[in-house]
Structure 1
Amino acid sequence: MARDDTLLNALIGAIVSVVLAFLPFSTVLGGGVAGYLQGGDRSEGLRIGAYAGAIAAIPLLIGMVLFGGIFFLGALFEPSAALGFVFVFFALGVGLVYTVGLSAIGGYLGAYIAEEYR
């Protein structure tokens, strides 16, 4: 892939992350693929890995918003359901840090491998 295809490389990395979601740390693999395809220096690999993680987090965002909506509607009628609503959005934040952060680390490693072996 060319270095100019940043969005395409990030999308390929995100697809790898989602397809391999049954594996632990699949986001590192997806970010690594994106960083390797992008080439460039390690800071660019870190950036493209974070992009891939952000794209891979879209299904997580959709699921958490729908799930959080259920608790929000429940909180309108039962105040104790508000705790579930808070928990869902705490879990969303943790999930985003996990997905984007580990994907960025993978992008860094992918760019390092591309530097060493190209």
Structure 2
Amino acid sequence: MVPDKRPSTDDRSATDTATTEVGSTSADFLAPGDDAPAELVDVLVYGLVGGIAGSVLSFVPFATVLGGAVAGYLCGGRSADALKTGTVAGVVMTLPFAVIVFALLFFLGFAGAPAEFGLIALAVVGLAAVYTLGSGIVGGYLGHYLRGQL
């Protein structure tokens, strides 16, 4: 019979007990296994998932922040990875809006709409893209923060 080699609770080192206390280490915002940077594939996949979630929840206020938070929470890694994932989610959430507006501008161009209308619409699309990207990035960081706290 082989003896059990698992450490008992009495064998924990002082560093293990220090990391379990609340607020005792600088790694409080990291979930287990999050000390390594996330891979690019993870950033893109979870950014896509967060972007789709934000687009589906578009009827909810601050859905872009929620989409970025989903992406940042799922990705893990470091906070820089969460910002990248939130950016990808923001781009994914911007695409449907931009496609719809550009399609409307294309069809209105054939209807004889004045050029000023197109310029104003492009400015609106630009501001909406900045808002969506920015709130996706903020959501990514918040999701990373929640991952470390929960």
TM over 0.5: yes
CA contact (8 A) 1:34 1:52 kept: yes
| Deviation sequence 1:3-53 (CA, Å, 0-9, x none) | 442222111101110111001110000000000000122221111001011
Of residues 43, 50, 60 in structure 2, which corresponds to 1:6? 43
Partner of 2:99: 62
Task: Please report how far the alpha carbon of residue 103 of structure 1 lies from its aligned counterpart in structure 2 after TM superposition.
Answer: 0.6
Q: Aligned partners of 2:100 and 2:91: how far apart in 1? A: 15
**Amino acid corresponding to residue 136 of structure 2 in structure 1:** S
2:110 corresponds to 1:110: no
CA contact (8 A) 1:49 1:104 kept: yes
* Greater share of helix: 1
Residue segments in structure 2 that go unaligned for 5+ positions in a row: 1-37
TM-score by length of 2: 0.68
How much is the aligned-residue C-alpha RMSD, in angstroms? Answer: 1.7
Of residues 45, 48, 68 in structure 2, which corresponds to 1:31? 68
- 3-state DSSP of counterpart to 1:57: helix
CA contact (8 A) 1:13 1:30 kept: yes
Residue segments in structure 1 that go unaligned for 5+ positions in a row: none
Q: Which protein has the larger Cα radius of gyration, Structure 1 or Structure 2? A: 2
CA contact (8 A) 2:68 2:139 kept: yes
TM-score by length of 1: 0.85
Aligned length: 112
Greater relative CO (CA pairs within 8 A, separation 6+): 1
Q: Aligned partners of 2:98 and 2:107: how far apart in 1? A: 14
